[in-house]
Structure 1
């Protein structure tokens, strides 16, 4: 359900209400359920909210790449042997992905120089 809520928020043209999210999800999902999901996502820092009268307007906290990274960290956090999971993950990377990871770990921007860096 969290992924569906996040997808709906990513398709929103601007910060939106929980009722807007509920409408986009369709089905018989209760408003209180949508609010619970949004609140949990807020606690996980996956969404932000701003007051609008007595309600909140919701926005995804990151782009699609950031949300994918958040999901990856959650999976990693749920594993008892993080070292083994990371080892398995890295050993299965494509050559290109490995180069990107190496550049990131070396402090370089794999896409080129970062702004302000020469």
Structure 2
């Protein structure tokens, strides 16, 4: 999976935080609080995200409303999978990654491994 570009990530961040279908106008208005950006630029990038399969859209009056297909966590997991895939020795890369984790993250990993083990037994 390719990492999202800067504006793609900025748009997706808003959609993930807002957790509701959103128009390009809402996204543009929010971005313009920080910096000027043209409506057409955001519309183009939203269309690109739709064509890449990151967003679904539906008509609401005359406007498209956009909703993410995947969660932020699913995106992060796919990036981690790609990062591990870049290594010639995935177990060693994974070991290095785990050594950088804090106690809460290690606890969450243990729970995920137990859950994955239970699924594998059935």
Instruction: Establish whether TM, by shorter chain, passes 0.5.
Output: yes
TM-score by length of 1: 0.62
Q: Which runs of 5+ in 2 are unaligned?
A: 1-6, 117-122
TM-aligned CA deviation for residue 67 of structure 1: 0.6
Is the contact between residue 23 and residue 65 of structure 2 (CA under 8 Å) also seen in structure 1? yes
Distance 1:60 1:16, change over 3 A: same
Q: Is 1:15 aligned to 2:21, yes or no?
A: yes
Is the contact between residue 16 and residue 72 of structure 2 (CA under 8 Å) also seen in structure 1? no
TM-aligned CA deviation for residue 11 of structure 1: 5.4
Q: Is 1:71 aligned to 2:79, yes or no?
A: no
Cross-structure match for 1:28: 36
Cross-structure match for 1:89: 97
Cross-structure match for 1:58: 66
TM-score by length of 2: 0.61
Structure in which a larger fraction of residues adopt helix: 2
The number of equivalent residue pairs is 104
